[in-house]
Structures are given as C-alpha cells and as structure tokens.
Amino acid sequence: MGISVPSARILGGPDLHVDMGSTINLTCLIQFSPEPPAYVFWYHEDEVISYDSARGGVSVVTEKGAATTSYLLVQDAAPADSGRYSCAPSNADLASVRVHVLNGERPAAMQTGSAGLSDSSRAIALLLAASLLHARLRSALLAS
C-alpha cells in the first residue's frame, strides 16, 4: 500500500473562462490528508485575497472532512479579476488556475471550461467528497 501525499487541485483548470458581470466560482479539492488543513488561503496574482476588501462581493466557503473542499466566489467579475488564482492549504502544495474574464464574444478556441459551477457540477463535487469520506471511513472500519 503506497503512501498518499496531501494534494490540492482546482476543478476545471488549468484555464477557466467566465463572462464579465457573472460570478467566478472556483472549487479547490484537498485530498489524501490525514487531517483537514488548519487553513486554506486563496491568492490572486500572488496576493492573499482579502474577503473584506473595498471591492466587495468576495467570499469563501470551506467544508472540512476526509476531503476538504474550499469554494472561492467572486461576484460581478470584471477584467481586473482575470489572472492566476491559487488555493493554498496549510498541509499541501498550492494549486493554481488562470481565469479569463471575457467581455462579449469569445473565440472558439477559448470555449473550453467555465469558472462558474452549475448546480449539477456542485452536486457532483459534493458527491465526490462524500464518496471519499465514505471510502475512508469504510477502510478505517475494516482495518480495525
């Protein structure tokens, strides 16, 4: 049995596209950690994101468990919100994606990915987290 190293990844990367005025919704999944991270920081272009900045409309929800999921929501996306976003849990290497805020038309080559999660995508992410928790609990029970 191999040793699992804690890892973080942002779903849908490495490039995400969102329309100007919509909500950027980034989901960071932290897996293979013996315990949930003490904290998860989000960065935009190497600067810690302040949730109470003058910009407003920025929030984070973190659900801790066998797999930890952290959601970054940035409302009313503007061109200044484009750039590299990173999720940095206390117990794993950071994960990054590049967000492109588009104003109007988008070239066909840029129509892959979306920074906004639909309800079904969020449900899939939550089911994945629940499945991982179930698998960990089952393994722990079988081992004892």
CATH T-level assignment (fold) for domain 7-102: Immunoglobulin-like (2.60.40)
3-class secondary-structure state, position 98 = strand
Q: Which of 53, 71, 54 minimizes the C-alpha distance to 62?
A: 71
How far does the chain reach from its first CA to its final CA, in angstroms?
Answer: 16
Looking at the predicted structure, is the pLDDT value of residue 126 above 90?
A: no
**Domain boundaries along the sequence of the chain:** 7-102
Question: What is the DSSP-derived secondary structure letter of residue 23?
Answer: -
* Residue 97, C-beta contacts closer than 8 angstroms, at least 6 positions apart: 10, 12, 13, 14, 15, 16, 26, 84, 85
Q: Which of 15, 13, 16 minimizes the C-alpha distance to 115?
A: 16
| pLDDT tens per residue, range 84-100 | 999 999 999 999 999 99
| pLDDT tens per residue, range 19-71 | 999 999 999 999 999 899 999 999 999 999 988 878 889 999 999 988 999 99
